[in-house]
Structure 1
Amino acid sequence: MAYTKFHHPQPDFEKPIFCDIDGSSLYEAPYGSLLTSIIQRNDVTALYSYNNSPNSRLFLQSYDSERQDPFSVALGCRSFDVLRALISIYISDPSMTEPLQTYTNRCGLSLIHRTCSAGEQDMVEWLINHEPPLGSLHDRDPTGMGWTPLLYAAEALGIAGDLILDADVEEAPAIARKKAILGQAIPYASYGMVSRLITKESDVHTPQTWSSQNTGIELGQNVTPLHIASLFWNLDGIQALIDHRGDVGLEFMASKADDDGRLPLHWAFTCIRDNREEKDNLDEIISRMTSTMRILLDAKPDTINTRDHHGSTVFHYAARLNLMGHEVLSRAIQKLLDALPSLDTLNVRNHRGATAVGDMLQPFTSPAGTLEQIMGPILTLLANGADAHLCDNKGRNVLHRLCMSTWKQPLTAGILGRLLEFVDINDTDVDGRTALDYLVSKPNRIDAAHYLRTRAADATGSY
């Protein structure tokens, strides 16, 4: 797998870690981002290369809120191959004198409890059968409420494979929460599993609290199982919810908002880091994403224009899909435009004052692909009615936003020229700045500044 985002060193991270598949050096980034990417991709080969580098540290003595321990990241991403490798590396590392379970408990997690919570039977059995064993089904959770792994598995799936989940008597009150089990199981549950949970009195429509890491939405209140299934593009789970919805109309389900005003459609475009086996099959990912969108929009077509409580439309949410690659975003934008959104929807600003186009012109949402590729969906929106002059509440147009940001790639004449089809080269923002004003303050943009001057650009000096 390629890690092109990490081919260039950042300040304080100048030492190469190992080489990418094309021979380029890879560098760590703030918050352990390279390691996190390796774990999210379940890339065991890269993990060992990272561990073998003299310029990296796989395990730290402590972690802050900005960087998690690798075991938690692997569990959160369901990267169980990497989790096995992490365990083996830790146990075989003579410098790690602290027992593994002591280390993980100090980091705030129990491997056996979290794995049961994920309903991952193979991993549970691997931990139990490990020599020495790394947990049992009757251990009390030292980091939570003292529950056993059995109860976590019961909450997650009702049943985990062939494991019989008999909770202790004193745990019976917790099992009364079984109506929320469906929401916990549905990210990856099959049609049969969802149907069975509903048969066991899990409510298709029961709202609950959602809390998860590495999913794009870390916290949500009044969340339905359809929200969660849409977030994970679980088509089998969604179909089971539809088939067992009872007397509630699908239109109502699709228009049910959480406490932040987010519909299932918004959740479907929240840049989930997909963790299924086919996660590297781009066509499969795009197919599930667009199929989820089509189900939700067919149920309630006018939700294409719905804004959440922060003023964001589904196009604002879709802007984050660039993190998964420009092709994912391009296909998503085209499918959303096929739903015939209003021009107001394409041009509304969210609570940050940005339109969807403005959000797409942020380097932190656009690390994947070349700048030419990133511009593709932006130009598509502009051609379909998005106003190139309304990127943010500072009066900046698309050219201002492009020129003011720090991009790793050059601003070519081709890119600049295409944007000039939509805006005037000497438009000023509320601070009186032109696009050239932003460029001349960046020494590495001499070529782009020269091109704008050849097109009769003026600099006002307001920088």
Structure 2
Amino acid sequence: MTDLEKYEQLFDENPMEGSSPLRLIIESNDVATLHSYIKKYPERVFIREAMAYYNPLFVATADDRLDVLRVLLDLADSNGVQLQLDGPWDTSLLDVACEGAQLHTVKFFALLSVAYSLRSDLCYSPDPSTGGRKIWLQDEIARSEEILCMLLDRGASVRDAVRSYKFPDVEQDEKPMSLTATALGRAVSRASYKLASRLIAEGADVHARQYGWGGHPVTAVREVTALHVASGYWNVQGIKALLDNCGEVKPADMVSMRDTAGRIPLHWAAENICFDDYYLTDDEIASQICDTLELLIQRIRKRSTSKTKMVQLPYSLL
């Protein structure tokens, strides 16, 4: 039995939605068997109707499988296959590598001089069922920061990273809705003080309104600020960076900005808006929550004093 036949048998014995012998080969970074697959099934490598998630280039990039990725890129180039993945965000392979914090793959693309823009979504897809999730989490965050800094060093534009997503309104199909995502808003959930400050210094609008965090865009809350996101994830260092680099808007006014649901950043912090998808180790959570609430409440009190009126605090949510 050849290696290719072994992969085909493995898939037949345990077929899963979205999987295939090709995907198993890519995930194993098996170059020799990939060549055999291409020779036997040349028409099955790049299927135009396939969703971006099933695209072999997507799989190799997302899983940091550089050896098979090089083979697929050469094949795509010789067959005139576009490297831009279909989807509402016009996703590039660099975007996919950044999303997964795949440092080696990002560096590979950078060497190919394709690091032309800064992806606004440098996050991973958390899997709460993973036993060692908290162990590798900090390494994941560190790699994300290194990727961001590397792209900035290479001249990536923070302003160019602002992205709009348009789709018909759920209630009024004729009226399109436009949602915006920014680099700062996507990174501030776990960005360090230094990184958040640098993004702002590089041109990120600290007060930009965008769609909410998590879930499908259709159900997302709009008019969310970076401070809402940082507060929802109890990122104390990110909050401090935003408040220290607030520009002409006073910090006391920042903490009172509301999303379309009427919530201020303190509500996001108190409601645990991120549910279980936070970026903290278990022994950090309690102190980070307390520090987050204290920071926000102090700013609200300063605002209430300056305005000579009390602002109702959501103590019922604490």
TM-score with structure 1 length normalisation? 0.42
Structure 1, unmatched stretches of 5+, are 1-149, 166-170, 172-179, 211-219, 273-284, 306-313, 367-372
User: For residues 316-344 of structure 1, what are the alpha-carbon distances to aligned partners after superposition, in whole Å with 9 as ceiling and x for unaligned?
Assistant: 2x133895632111112123334544454
User: For residues 123-142 of structure 1, what are the alpha-carbon distances to aligned partners after superposition, in whole Å with 9 as ceiling and x for unaligned?
Assistant: xxxxxxxxxxxxxxxxxxxx
Inter-partner Cα distance in structure 1 for 2:77 and 2:237: 55
1:315 aligned to which of 100, 120, 132:
120
Per the alignment, residue 311 of structure 2 pairs with: 461
Q: Is the 8 A contact 1:204 1:241 kept in 2?
A: no
Supply the RMSD in Å over aligned alpha carbons: 4.8
Deviation, 1:225, is: 1.8
Inter-partner Cα distance in structure 1 for 2:58 and 2:241: 38
Deviation, 1:355, is: 2.5
Per the alignment, residue 193 of structure 1 pairs with: 33
User: For residues 55-82 of structure 1, what are the alpha-carbon distances to aligned partners after superposition, in whole Å with 9 as ceiling and x for unaligned?
Assistant: xxxxxxxxxxxxxxxxxxxxxxxxxxxx
**How is 1:55-94 mapped onto 2 (pairs within 5 angstroms)?**
none
State the AA in 2 paired with 1:359.
Answer: R
Inter-partner Cα distance in structure 2 for 1:257 and 1:462: 46
Q: Is the 8 A contact 1:315 1:346 kept in 2?
A: yes
TM-score with structure 2 length normalisation? 0.57
Work out which structure has the larger RCO, using CA pairs closer than 8 Å and 6 or more positions apart in sequence: 2
Q: Is the 8 A contact 1:227 1:263 kept in 2?
A: no
Deviation, 1:419, is: 3.8
SS at match of 1:315: coil
Per the alignment, residue 398 of structure 1 pairs with: 226
Between the two proteins, what is the percent identity of the paired residues? 15
1:235 aligned to which of 51, 58, 66:
66
State the AA in 1 paired with 2:4.
Answer: G
Inter-partner Cα distance in structure 2 for 1:454 and 1:350: 37
Q: Is the 8 A contact 2:57 2:72 kept in 1?
A: yes
Per the alignment, residue 100 of structure 2 pairs with: 271
**How is 1:285-304 mapped onto 2 (pairs within 5 angstroms)?**
286=103, 288-294=104-110, 298=113, 300=114, 304=117
Inter-partner Cα distance in structure 1 for 2:227 and 2:248: 9
Deviation, 1:268, is: 2.1
Per the alignment, residue 5 of structure 1 pairs with: none
State the AA in 2 paired with 1:418.
Answer: D
Per the alignment, residue 379 of structure 1 pairs with: 197
State the AA in 1 paired with 2:65.
Answer: N
Per the alignment, residue 418 of structure 1 pairs with: 244
**How is 1:8-407 mapped onto 2 (pairs within 5 angstroms)?**
158-160=4-6, 181-203=21-43, 206-207=46-47, 220=51, 223-245=54-76, 247-249=78-80, 252-257=81-86, 261-271=90-100, 286=103, 288-294=104-110, 298=113, 300=114, 304=117, 314-316=119-121, 318-320=122-124, 325-338=140-153, 340-350=155-165, 353-362=180-189, 366=190, 374-392=192-210, 395-403=223-231, 405=232, 407=234
Structure 2, unmatched stretches of 5+, are 13-19, 127-136, 167-178, 212-221, 272-288, 314-318
Per the alignment, residue 134 of structure 2 pairs with: none
**How is 1:421-460 mapped onto 2 (pairs within 5 angstroms)?**
423-425=249-251, 426-427=253-254, 428-429=256-257, 444=290, 445-446=293-294, 448-450=296-298
Larger radius of gyration: 1
Deviation, 1:381, is: 1.8
